[in-house]
Amino acid sequence: MSDTTKKPGAAEKILSTRRNFLGKAGLGAGAALAGSTIAAPYVNAQVGPIKWRLQTYSGAPLGAHVIKPQIDAFNAAANGEMEIELFYADQLVPTSDLFRALQSGTIDAVQSDEASMSAPVDIAVFGGYFPFATRYSLDVPALFRYYGLKEIWEEAYSEVDNVTWLSTGAWDPLHVFTVDKPIRSLADMKGLRVFGVPTAGKFLSKYGLVPVTIPWDNVEVALQTGELDGVAWCGFTEAYEVGWADVCNYALSNSVTGAWFGSYFANSGSWEKVPPHLKELFLMSIDQSHYYRDVWYWGGEAKLRVEGEKMELTSLPPAEWAQVVEDSKGFWDEVAGSSPRAGRVVAAFKKYAETMQKAGYPYR
């Protein structure tokens, strides 16, 4: 018998991950905390509850689903030891200034994608909607747990002063909704002014779409006045929930990507002041929020595409859509060349897509 140690294969790595799962928290920083929680008693000299201010990227109507239930649950479970005050898009600082405000301690925590909040990391382009990186909401946690994205995100933010990345989860797919100009061909995109997230907007600008950035609360009025022709920000569930489906008459059924990458961040100083049991509680509430959104979006997208009556569905011709998919490969390669770490993320996307394709139904 050979003494050579056999290297663990993919199956063993997955089983090992599953065995250790109960000892680690979700997709974020809880893994490091799990060992330290028992290592030494925590001494809290603070008088009164810990007070945090958290600002989300979302406006209040959307926030009622993507963040408020979590914060309400955490505050109740914290039993007076900690209290988080929730602020919606642009209430304390503009969304584009969220990262700087988090670094300085103006706010204690943030829920957003990296691209919208101008995070100064080389992986910021992957936050939000990265074209064709995902097809389903479960793709996001699978990529973080099994394909190395968790470690890449931790590495990137370890190089940034005073910001701690906590967790990333899936939101909805990306569709384009327009007021009175239906999109039935790529030529119809030319000149359309749309509110949207930066990365997807950059990709779609190849076809003439004009990304416009305005405060979230101003979007509906801008659609009504003609300042905007549409939105490229969300899926059907959000469009109906926040009222944009009441203004937009057309929905492009072709989805540029299947799930948005949304993350939670904390000011490092604020995070260090939180006792271990409350850190674990907050991470658990984040995981519960990820689960809530997965179900809310997944069920809502299908139901509203089939039963929704507020918008007419349009689609691109198959040949043109195939061209968009093909164009995304060049976009991936361009981003991969921007930094070695970005290249590792794109490599993970490619490996994941290849694996899902080989796995077949129900994965692809």
Return the closest-CA partner of residue 106 out of 148, 159, 59, 163: 163
Here the tokens at position 335 are 């981003």
Confidence at 46, pLDDT banded by 50, 70, 90? low
Pairing of strands 163-170, 261-267: antiparallel
| 340 exposure class (CB count in 10 Å sphere: 0-12, 13-18, 19+) | exposed
Helix locations, 159-249, DSSP H: 198-204, 219-225, 236-242
Here the tokens at position 272 are 């260090």
pLDDT of residue 144: 98
Kindly report the average pLDDT of the chain as a whole number.
Answer: 90
- Spatial CB neighbours of 200, under 8 Å, sequence gap ≥ 6: 128, 129, 130, 131, 174, 232, 256, 257
Question: Distance (Å, rounded) from C-alpha 254 to C-alpha 167?
Answer: 29
In the chain, what are the domains? 26-171+260-300 (3.40.190.170), 175-258+310-359 (3.40.190.170)
Q: Does pLDDT of 64 surpass 70?
A: yes
Phi, psi of 181 (to 5 degrees): -125, 95
Return the closest-CA partner of residue 130 out of 43, 256, 309: 256
Q: Does pLDDT of 29 surpass 90?
A: no
Question: Distance (Å, rounded) from C-alpha 77 to C-alpha 80?
Answer: 8
Enter the DSSP assignment of 147: S
Enter the DSSP assignment of 226: T
Q: Could you identify the residue written with the tokens 């997807």?
A: 200
For 289-312, give one letter per residue: b (16+ CB within 10 A) or e: bbebbbebbbebbeebbeebebbe
Average pLDDT over residues 84-105: 96
Q: Does pLDDT of 23 surpass 50?
A: no
* pTM, full prediction: 0.86
Question: Distance (Å, rounded) from C-alpha 102 to C-alpha 94?
Answer: 12
Q: Does pLDDT of 42 surpass 70?
A: no
Confidence at 26, pLDDT banded by 50, 70, 90? very low
Name the amino acid, one letter, at 332: W
Phi, psi of 325 (to 5 degrees): -60, -45
Round the CA-based radius of gyration of the chain to a whole number and report it: 21
